[in-house]
Copies of this chain bind each other. A is one copy, B any other.
Amino acid sequence: MSLFVQKFGGTSVASVERIENIAARIIRSRNAGHDVVVVVSAMGDETDRLVSLANEVNYDGLDARRELDVLLSTGEQATIALLAMTLLKHGVKAESVLGWQASILTDSEHSKARILEIDETVLQAKISDGIVPVVAGFQGIDQKGHVTTLGRGGSDTTAVALAAVLKADECQIYTDVEGVFTTDPRVVEGARCLKQMTFEEMLELASLGSRVLHTRAVEFASKYQVPLRVLSSFEEKPGTLITKEDDSMEQPIISGIAFTRDEAKLTILGVKDVPGIASAILGPISDANIEVDMIVQNVAADMSTDFTFTVRRDDYDQAKQILENIAKNIDAREVSGDNKIAKLSLVGVGMRSHAGVASRMFKVLADESINIQMISTSEIKISVVLAEKYLELAARALHSAFELSEEVN
């Protein structure tokens, strides 16, 4: 007999009919002899509906964020009530549990609060009584007794946090996809659902654009060693199990290929190479709340340097304008940019013990005559920037060269 925390996202609970489906799934787990704690999101587009009501009020003062949390948290509250009712109808002892009822204590950063502490005794008592607690995801309570929300992907975080304090055997995240794929199946035909991967790999994939799981939830799971499983609400398949790295398991060199088109590149040319120049350039960009991703700096022979970085495509125009002002101030030669680029990354813990992955990757791209514009690496990841038009070709070539279609774990 195991204890599972099962989390169902917005599309899985978008209607009373779908809530019936997930009730059936919960009941199957119970009938197999397991204890279950359920975490759910708001129904379908309910959060969007609530946000648009708040937008109608048209006030985004800091003090309004506390009230926005009170408003948004109604979404999950409605779902837990409907799901608990549905379980009761089928003779399952179930009880809805709000964030404050589960004592999910957070800091007071409304709309992006972080969980500080959970008193697990509340839920443990219900589990002991044979009750399925149906917990509202995304919400908590701060020390002053105000309702808080955890921000985007917050329900995943709730599920993982509960699994951690309850020492659950698995935290199961039900989504509208089968699991985590080696790459985007819409782009590469041979993309395969991974049976298993590590937290680190998932973190790299999540932050690189695979939107299956929220980064914070994976970090949390990694920190507290909570086995995570991503699986489909709609199909009966095992999905992808995400755990800590295990020496006994055979590591594939590469687990997956992530990519994002949402990128733009900016270069400032002929900058004097003196200390403090990087912060003189990036300071005003960051002051404008523009996130910088990759950064590359080359020193030329005349002691001047070219400085290149990437930003989100949405921020390109604003960043370019700021950069042109900076160029005048620091007497740089020229500013150039390109917003038709994409970033592609190979991810795999096997890289640690296998040399030559990078050169193999570059050779595959060279064989396809694809020019690499920027390179960035970490222990388990190699990212390259390339022209957007080559993205699909590059993904397919690499997927095939690294034999990702073949079952290895």
Chain A residues within 8 Å of B, Cβ to Cβ: 16, 19, 50, 53-54, 56-59, 61, 63-64, 66-68, 70-71, 73-74, 77-78, 80-82, 84-86, 88-89, 95-96, 98, 100-101, 145, 147
A59 near B71 (CB under 8 angstroms)? Answer: no
Least Cβ–Cβ distance between A113 and chain B, in angstroms: 16
Check A86/B59 contact, CB under 8 A, given A53-B16, A67-B81, A145-B101. Answer: yes
A88 near B64 (CB under 8 angstroms)? Answer: yes
B70 near A81 (CB under 8 angstroms)? Answer: yes
In the complex, what distance in Å separates the CA atom of A68 from the CA atom of B82?
Answer: 8
In the complex, what distance in Å separates the CA atom of A157 from the CA atom of B255?
Answer: 61
Residues from chain B with Cβ under 8 Å of A73 in the complex:
77
Least Cβ–Cβ distance between A119 and chain B, in angstroms: 12
**Which listed residue, B53, B54, B82, touches A57 by the CB 8 Å rule?**
B82
**Which listed residue, B50, B64, B98, touches A70 by the CB 8 Å rule?**
B98
For the A-B complex with A59-B86, A70-B77 known, give 8 more contacts whose Cβ atoms are closer than 8 Å: A16-B53, A16-B56, A50-B78, A61-B88, A64-B88, A67-B85, A70-B84, A74-B77
Interface of A, helix, strand, loop or mixed by DSSP:
helix
Least Cβ–Cβ distance between A338 and chain B, in angstroms: 42
Check A53/B67 contact, CB under 8 A, given A59-B89, A89-B58, A100-B100. Answer: no
Least Cβ–Cβ distance between A17 and chain B, in angstroms: 8
CB-nearest residue of chain B relative to A75? B74
In the complex, what distance in Å separates the CA atom of A35 from the CA atom of B195?
Answer: 62
Residues from chain B with Cβ under 8 Å of A74 in the complex:
74, 77-78
Copies in the complex: 2
In the complex, what distance in Å separates the CA atom of A399 from the CA atom of B98?
Answer: 54
**Which listed residue, B19, B57, B81, B89, touches A85 by the CB 8 Å rule?**
B57
Residues from chain B with Cβ under 8 Å of A70 in the complex:
77, 80-81, 84, 96, 98
Residues from chain B with Cβ under 8 Å of A147 in the complex:
98
Residues from chain B with Cβ under 8 Å of A96 in the complex:
66-67, 70
B16 near A85 (CB under 8 angstroms)? Answer: no
B84 near A67 (CB under 8 angstroms)? Answer: yes
Residues from chain B with Cβ under 8 Å of A64 in the complex:
85, 88-89
CB-nearest residue of chain B relative to A50? B78
Check A78/B53 contact, CB under 8 A, given A68-B85, A85-B68, A100-B100. Answer: yes
**Which listed residue, B71, B78, B89, touches A81 by the CB 8 Å rule?**
B71
Least Cβ–Cβ distance between A263 and chain B, in angstroms: 36
Residues from chain B with Cβ under 8 Å of A82 in the complex:
53-54, 57, 67, 71
Residues from chain B with Cβ under 8 Å of A98 in the complex:
70, 147
In the complex, what distance in Å separates the CA atom of A80 from the CA atom of B73?
Answer: 13
B101 near A54 (CB under 8 angstroms)? Answer: no
**Which listed residue, B50, B61, B145, touches A89 by the CB 8 Å rule?**
B61
Q: Can you list 21 A-B pairs with a CB-CB distance of less than 8 A?
A: A53-B82, A54-B82, A57-B82, A57-B86, A58-B89, A59-B86, A63-B88, A64-B88, A66-B95, A66-B96, A67-B82, A67-B85, A68-B85, A70-B80, A70-B81, A70-B98, A71-B77, A71-B81, A73-B77, A74-B78, A101-B145
CB-nearest residue of chain B relative to A61? B88
Residues from chain B with Cβ under 8 Å of A86 in the complex:
57, 59
